[in-house]
Amino acid sequence: MEGWSEKHFKNIRHQAYKYLLKDGYIWKRPKRSDEVPLRVVDDQETKEKVLKEFHDTLWAGHRGIWATYMKIKERYWWKGLYQDAAEFVGSCVECQMQSKIRHRNGLRPTYPLSMHFQWVLDLVIMPVGMWRMRYLVLAREELSNYVEGRALRTKTTEGVCRFILEDILCRYGSVGRLRADRGELDTVEARQFFDRYGVKLKLTTSYNPEDRTTHSTVTGYMPIELMLGQKPIMPMEDDIPTWAAIPWEDGVPREELLELRIRQLERRPEDVKDALDQLQAARVKNKERFDKTHRLRPKEIGEVDWVLVYDSSLENQHSAERKFARRWFGPYVVVTVHDNATYSLRELDGTPLRLPIAGKRIKYFKKREADRDFDFSFRGGGCPVGDMPIW
């Protein structure tokens, strides 16, 4: 071997001892006496044929990465076998459609920048009460947790907008934005109302109840204390008087009353800043706890990526037929990734989905060139992709 150094030649000879030649094939020698030689596979076509045989066929049973790898490892060998098995199994269409694994985006806590930065609105159905009131509309200021509410006979856009105007905007002035679920405020009339008064409306995504829940905040202050700048007098303080409940003497000069109130209001910005700091610290801890207890997404999903959408309707169905139905719709193409971990999608023919989808219902879809002609329209139950429910 011209040009080879002695060290290079010894290294080649040492590696060659690990293999043998028989019947025109290269075999890898076993490390133990109770094992058999392994057929060495070096061309890509044969590798794919072996992977498909040990995973996609009926007898293979679409086993997981480790099981597929171990079955191949007992018979064949090539460099990077485990990585190839992991990639092949991970890109199997049937396995992706049937998988129970769901990933979550890491929690992205939001922080109100000031009082009235955001109000959260919810409409609750109640037992029929006085004057035939059936619904309760509630609005919560996010930083202080202060709540305004009103009873309604019917859940109409006009009634909810009137409540927002009279009980929030007229009392506290313009607010930064208002967050609500997709219901009475997902109408043209509601959008015109918010445009008229300069309020940003944020609607939650479908099948994502966590986005509609109120977050418990640890600010160290009572809601009314942050909202009005002073501590309230409790009913007990009338029975067992405290300093705040002691009757004032008549004839106190107006200047002293104004001075006392000014001192209370001057202390309020400091209280609000302290509440913001405590709220931010509490939400950082919540993020750390969330990320530790959930299966986070191994790869961030970006625009033009292919994804699958989880069929959340299966969570409330326990029939034998649905047990074998595909758990995922798709694939779809990501059009836009929103800041609140939601995704706007389109179908493969370019038709956009009407509503954005929550990140917890999305997972990355791995494609194979061999699956270019796969019939993606099939799904357990016979519903084509184009008829996917948006709710």
Q: What is the pLDDT of residues 266-290, one digit of tens each?
A: 667 777 777 777 877 887 888 888 8
Tell me the three state secondary structure of residue 285: helix
**Taking the chain, what is the end-to-end CA distance rounded to the nearest angstrom?**
71
In the chain, the percentage of residues whose pLDDT exceeds 90 is: 19
DSSP assignment letter at 84: H
In words, the CATH class of domain 306-387 is mainly beta
| Between 75 and 211, the higher pLDDT residue | 75
DSSP string computed for 355-387: S-EEGGGEEE----GGGTT--TT--TTS--GGG
DSSP string computed for 314-336: GGG---HHHHTS-SEEEEEEEEE
- Residue 249 burial (10 A CB sphere; 0-12, 13-18, 19+): exposed
**pLDDT exceeds 60 at position 68:** yes
| Between 137 and 215, the higher pLDDT residue | 137
Mean pLDDT, the chain, rounded, equals 80
**pLDDT exceeds 50 at position 387:** no
| Between 240 and 84, the higher pLDDT residue | 84
Mean pLDDT, rounded, for 342-367? 88
**pLDDT exceeds 80 at position 347:** yes
Q: What is the CATH number of domain 118-212?
A: 3.30.420.10
Distance CA 12, CA 10 (A): 5
Give the per-residue pLDDT at 271: 73
Mean pLDDT, rounded, for 131-153? 90
Where are the chain's structural domains?
6-98, 118-212, 223-293, 306-387
Strands, E assignment, 204-316: 306-310
Helix (H) or strand (E) holding 258: helix 254-293
List phi, psi (to 5°) of 148: -115, 145
Q: Are 311 and 328 in contact (CB under 8 A)?
A: yes
Beta bridge partners of 363: 308
Q: Lowest mean pLDDT: which of 96-100, 149-153, 196-200? A: 96-100
**pLDDT exceeds 70 at position 390:** no
- pLDDT category, 167, cuts 50, 70, 90? very high
Distance CA 12, CA 61 (A): 40
* Tokens coding 174: 């313009």
In the chain, the percentage of residues whose pLDDT exceeds 70 is: 82
- The one-letter code for the residue type at 204 is T
CATH 1.10.340.70 assigned to 6-98: yes
Give the residue among 273, 342, 264 at the shortest CA–CA distance from 301: 342
